[in-house]
Amino acid sequence: MAKYTIDFDDEFDKTLSDLKDSTDATTKADVIRRAVASYKFLKSQTAADKEVAITDKSGKVEKSVVLP
């Protein structure tokens, strides 16, 4: 398994901790792995210049995001 050393500021570390604690992720590394997997999936589902829409249960668009 590859290992990485990454320096994060305190705010980002808190964000990782909050995500770990509020999900079923077991470690901060697990949060990062899931985030990368989610990003990979979203990128594979969108073409250039397309948006990802976040909708509520009724289908109303709450937010649109253009992935870089």
Q: Tens digit of pLDDT for each residue in 2-57? A: 999 999 999 999 999 999 999 999 999 999 999 999 989 888 888 777 888 999 99
Expressed as residue numbers, the domain containing 28 is 10-43+50-66
- Counting the structural domains of the chain, the total is 1
Residue 5 placed within a domain? no
Q: What is the pLDDT of residue 48?
A: 75
Q: What is the pLDDT of residue 51?
A: 84
Residue 4 placed within a domain? no
Residue 31's closest CA among 40, 43, 20, 15?
20
Q: Find where tokens 């253009």 sit.
A: 66
